[in-house]
A and B are shown apart, each in its own frame.
Chain A
């Protein structure tokens, strides 16, 4: 009897593990490494330069969202429908766009093709499950890049980082330093986008970057007067300011989240504003 219970338990556990969208092998090993992804992202950027945006006014609005976890697409479609009909100049998706499975990448890609407006995407940890980086790279390309939004008066700098592995890695850190050193002084506002939330202002089971990396980023962002850091990962909205930098965590767009939403960023000549917006 005990033997049968053990067998049934193993079968049940295997079925649960197989059916859920979590790649448990990631506890032990990752099929990709942040350093390798960074090299591939830079190679992609060389061949396909990131599209900068030019607007014919002194101000503009832009959207950012995170943690779509496509498998199902109800909230994703709400987000895209709103974006298509709005005056927002771009939509930034800050990681965990899909579950990592190839079929979910393809499903999301079909939805995204209908948008016909600028979409900027980076990877989150879930996007990398099930060897998902290969699909991300094939369909969307780079996960580390920067772009500018040029207004009639000035330009703003957006830096998108690959933190899906929980760390930026040595090469990406050096690249980030270089971008800030070269471009920050030419820009009015500087906005950094990364998937993994940097600060830990509430108890959570998700992993942040290690303390050494958190402290380094706080220091770097203060030094270069980064205005806004947009992250997801933790699924529940938060805005924390330390120094002159505001660190945002976005509500997850995933269908199971009753508080799903996005953030609207308004860049105006004198101020950079943000507003959390919920779908329901």
Chain B
């Protein structure tokens, strides 16, 4: 655990915005390399827009984003960028995430192991860095995901200068369990499907393990050559493990996914 924390501090805490841009550049370069293997690699891209309503994002937060990704012999690379449509005076980028995964079969069912990193600016002062590892196992209509992440709150260097924050510029929270239990109504290869999911994370937000979210969604494609349309809805409640649930907010994402072969 201690070694993990030291590694996290080394990798994440020292990252500045410039380092983040370098990381994005490296990923883009790697993707270009994969393009050169187009005979073998599969390219996909999600384009989506989200609306979040909660006590913090008033009256709401509207974003637009995309997630390009490659898969090559079971190895896949995805990165996601979400841009604010409103509230741009406090932050332009809502979040950036990158993940690398390896997929293989266990008893004819796919298991996907992913390492990921997510950066979410809260304001011009504060950012959340998140890194972790997760395992996704699919069995017929079920998808089970289990993982672990570290949440790091970090004041920007500008904020540290402005507010005389000399020490304690960042905080690494305790390791957090990520989980998701997802059930599809229809068989996996159906042209449309509904699902229900109990989880504590989505693409850019990882809640504490004690704050589960209810996620329901719908996917549809006209035929197998067409892009997939998806609608996702997350209901967020607070205080579940305090046995005092209160409504917190919701998030909806609508988008299109192309699998380009």
Residues of A within 8 A of B (CB): 22-24, 26-30, 33-34, 125, 128-129, 164-170, 172-174, 196, 199-216, 218-219, 222-223, 225, 233, 240-244
A-B contact pairs, 11 of them (CB 8 A): A26-B239, A26-B245, A125-B239, A125-B242, A205-B241, A210-B54, A210-B236, A211-B205, A213-B54, A215-B122, A233-B242
- Does B244 belong to the interface (CB within 8 Å)? yes
> Is there an interface contact between A125 and B243, defined as CB atoms closer than 8 Å?
yes
Once bound together, how far apart are the Cα atoms of A207 and B57, in whole Å? 21
> Is there an interface contact between B243 and A199, defined as CB atoms closer than 8 Å?
no
Residue of A nearest to B172 (CB): A201
- Does B123 belong to the interface (CB within 8 Å)? yes
Q: Which listed segment binds A: B65-73, B206-214, B253-261? A: B206-214
> Is there an interface contact between A27 and B245, defined as CB atoms closer than 8 Å?
yes
Once bound together, how far apart are the Cα atoms of A223 and B153, in whole Å? 15
- Contact partner of A244 (CB less than 8 A), chosen from B128, B163, B239, B248, is B163
Known: A170-B55, A211-B208. 15 other contacts (CB 8 A): A30-B245, A30-B246, A166-B242, A172-B55, A206-B242, A208-B210, A210-B238, A212-B57, A212-B205, A213-B55, A213-B248, A214-B153, A215-B126, A223-B163, A244-B168
Once bound together, how far apart are the Cα atoms of A214 and B206, in whole Å? 12
> Is there an interface contact between A222 and B159, defined as CB atoms closer than 8 Å?
yes
Total A-B Cβ pairs within 8 A: 160
Once bound together, how far apart are the Cα atoms of A169 and B171, in whole Å? 25
**Chain B residues in 8 Å Cβ range of A125:** 239, 242-244
Residue of A nearest to B167 (CB): A241
Once bound together, how far apart are the Cα atoms of A216 and B173, in whole Å? 16
**Chain A residues in 8 Å Cβ range of B169:** 242-243
- Does B131 belong to the interface (CB within 8 Å)? no
Residue of A nearest to B212 (CB): A207
Residue of B nearest to A240 (CB): B171
**Chain A residues in 8 Å Cβ range of B246:** 30, 33-34, 165-167, 169
Once bound together, how far apart are the Cα atoms of A129 and B239, in whole Å? 12
Q: Which positions 154-208 of chain B face chain A at CB distance < 8 Å?
A: 155, 159, 163-165, 167-171, 173-176, 205-208
Interface residue total, chain B, C-beta cutoff 8 A: 47
> Is there an interface contact between B168 and A241, defined as CB atoms closer than 8 Å?
yes
> Is there an interface contact between B241 and A222, defined as CB atoms closer than 8 Å?
no
Residue of A nearest to B210 (CB): A207
- Does B151 belong to the interface (CB within 8 Å)? yes
Q: Given A210-B238, A212-B56, A219–B125 Cβ distance below 8 Å?
A: yes
> Is there an interface contact between B239 and A173, defined as CB atoms closer than 8 Å?
no
> Is there an interface contact between B174 and A203, defined as CB atoms closer than 8 Å?
yes
**Chain A residues in 8 Å Cβ range of B236:** 210
> Is there an interface contact between B238 and A22, defined as CB atoms closer than 8 Å?
no
> Is there an interface contact between A215 and B163, defined as CB atoms closer than 8 Å?
no
Once bound together, how far apart are the Cα atoms of A112 and B216, in whole Å? 48
> Is there an interface contact between A216 and B56, defined as CB atoms closer than 8 Å?
yes
Once bound together, how far apart are the Cα atoms of A25 and B242, in whole Å? 11
> Is there an interface contact between A22 and B174, defined as CB atoms closer than 8 Å?
no
**Chain A residues in 8 Å Cβ range of B210:** 204-208
> Is there an interface contact between A215 and B153, defined as CB atoms closer than 8 Å?
yes
- Does B247 belong to the interface (CB within 8 Å)? yes
Once bound together, how far apart are the Cα atoms of A29 and B246, in whole Å? 8
Q: Given A169-B246, A242-B153, A207–B241 Cβ distance below 8 Å?
A: yes
> Is there an interface contact between A201 and B173, defined as CB atoms closer than 8 Å?
yes
Chain B nearest CB, measured from A110 CB (Å): 26
Q: Given A242-B153, A244-B164, A222–B126 Cβ distance below 8 Å?
A: yes
- Does B222 belong to the interface (CB within 8 Å)? no
- Does B240 belong to the interface (CB within 8 Å)? yes
**Chain A residues in 8 Å Cβ range of B167:** 241
- Does B107 belong to the interface (CB within 8 Å)? no
Q: Given A170-B58, A211-B207, A165–B244 Cβ distance below 8 Å?
A: yes
> Is there an interface contact between A243 and B122, defined as CB atoms closer than 8 Å?
no
Residue of B nearest to A200 (CB): B173
* 8 residue pairs, one from A and one from B, having the closest CB atoms: A166-B239, A166-B238, A165-B246, A167-B238, A207-B241, A26-B243, A170-B55, A125-B242
